Amino acid sequence: MKTILTGIKPTGDIHLGNLLGAIRPAIELSKSGEYERALYFIADAHALTTVRDPKAYKQYVYEIAATWIALGLDTTKAIFFRQSDIKEVFELAWMLSCMTPKGDMNRAHSYKDRVQKNKEDGKDQDQGINMGLYNYPVLMSADILLYDTNDVPVGKDQIQHVEIARSIAGRCNEYFGEGTLVEPQEIIQKQGAYIPGLDGRKMSKSYGNIIPLWASEKKLKKTINKITTDSSAPEEPKDPNNCLIMEIYRLFASSEQVKSLEQRYREGIGWGYAKAELFEVVNAYLSGPREKFNYLMENKNEIDNVLLDGASKAQAIADETMQRVRKAVTGF
């Protein structure tokens, strides 16, 4: 059974980059008919590496669940669940840890980036780094391998996670027999993989340049008006292919709308007008989902029911995988 899997960590401040870079492409893949089984999970255990407030943690989980549902994930066809509801993922993570060289973790981007930043700041290289962060790739490998995943959609900066999972699976198959674990492949998300923020850098909470996904219309408009522009006069012609506003606009507008606004750029356009046009297409796209998101956040029992149903389906797959893996690895 050909299987695709993706997950997203619930850490708050959901923004347009999450929608365009991960959520929308993943939902489109689930509708493609290419896969017999599609799994989407909330990576709540991964959030424990940074989130320390249990109330915020719970809120983040509900927000990301409501986001996927509001944006159109068909939970009657896709398996949508909370990572930590399937306890076998932690059992498998320990088994995989025992099969993973420490050097692989030393080379993991998540760890190396933190070490490099500590060195640049003149701190001890491991300051602030917990074992959850260090072992992050192993748990992520367990997320992938537990469900016999064939394909994992990722951006270019996340390819290493799938490579590590594939390497671990290959090592287990070499030791314990072919077919112990399915060796996954990455699907590189090209369109929408890099989403610019207000300042032109990649949209990220760490840069403080995000456009919130579920902001009110008033706040959304105010945020879009903060997009960085130059000081050219409204009557000056502008290049639509070298403009941050236009770059985001193309991700939401129809081809006719894009052609029309590009023409306005070449004739001369004020930045205020361009930002207003961007707000209109983004708000039109989000207005329906925003209403559904707000409804779900007021009726969390409906989210609970969806996640429990998804967990029961994911559990059936996990049980089957772990029976095979336990017998291969331990003989029992």
Indicate the average pLDDT of the chain: 95
Give the contacts of 94 (CB within 8 A, at least 6 positions apart): none
Averaged pLDDT for residues 184-208 = 85
Q: What is the pLDDT of residue 195?
A: 86
Which residue among the candidates 31, 58, 202, 292 is catalytic per the annotation?
Answer: 202
Q: What is the pLDDT of residue 1?
A: 85
Asked if 221 is an active-site residue, the reply is no
Contact between 296 and 303 (Cβ < 8 Å) = yes
Asked if 202 is an active-site residue, the reply is yes
Contact between 282 and 16 (Cβ < 8 Å) = yes
In degrees to the nearest 10, what's the CA dihedral of 115, 118, 119, 124? Answer: -90
Q: What is the pLDDT of residue 29?
A: 85
Averaged pLDDT for residues 151-174 = 93
Q: What pLDDT band is residue 190 in, cutting at 50, 70 and 90?
A: low
Contact between 146 and 92 (Cβ < 8 Å) = yes
Q: What is the pLDDT of residue 193?
A: 58
Does pLDDT of 34 surpass 70? yes
Highest mean pLDDT among 7-11, 108-112, 141-145: 141-145
Contact between 277 and 249 (Cβ < 8 Å) = yes
Which residue among the candidates 117, 119, 226, 259 is catalytic per the annotation?
Answer: 119
Per CATH, the homologous superfamily of domain 3-195+300-330 is: HUPs (3.40.50.620)
Does pLDDT of 148 surpass 90? yes
Report the C-alpha gap between 317 and 146 in whole angstroms.
8
Backbone angles phi and psi of 240, in degrees to 5: -70, -15
pLDDT tens-digit series, residues 63-83: 999 999 999 999 999 999 999
Report the C-alpha gap between 258 and 2 in whole angstroms.
37
Asked if 117 is an active-site residue, the reply is no
CB atoms within 10 A of CB 113: 10
Give residue for tokens 């287990």. Answer: 172
Averaged pLDDT for residues 256-269 = 96
Report the C-alpha gap between 314 and 142 in whole angstroms.
13
Backbone angles phi and psi of 42, in degrees to 5: -90, 115
Whether pTM exceeds 0.75: yes
pLDDT tens-digit series, residues 280-332: 999 999 999 999 999 999 999 999 999 999 999 999 999 999 999 999 999 99
CATH of domain 214-293: 1.10.240.10
Residue limits of CATH 1.10.240.10 in the chain: 214-293
Q: Please name the amino acid found at residue 180.
A: T
Q: What is the pLDDT of residue 21?
A: 84
- Cα 47 to its chain centre, rounded Å, is 12
Q: What pLDDT band is residue 191 in, cutting at 50, 70 and 90?
A: low
Report the C-alpha gap between 142 and 135 in whole angstroms.
11
Q: What pLDDT band is residue 205 in, cutting at 50, 70 and 90?
A: confident
Q: What pLDDT band is residue 90 in, cutting at 50, 70 and 90?
A: very high
Which residue among the candidates 31, 205, 300, 313 is catalytic per the annotation?
Answer: 205
Residue limits of CATH 3.40.50.620 in the chain: 3-195+300-330
Q: What is the pLDDT of residue 22?
A: 86
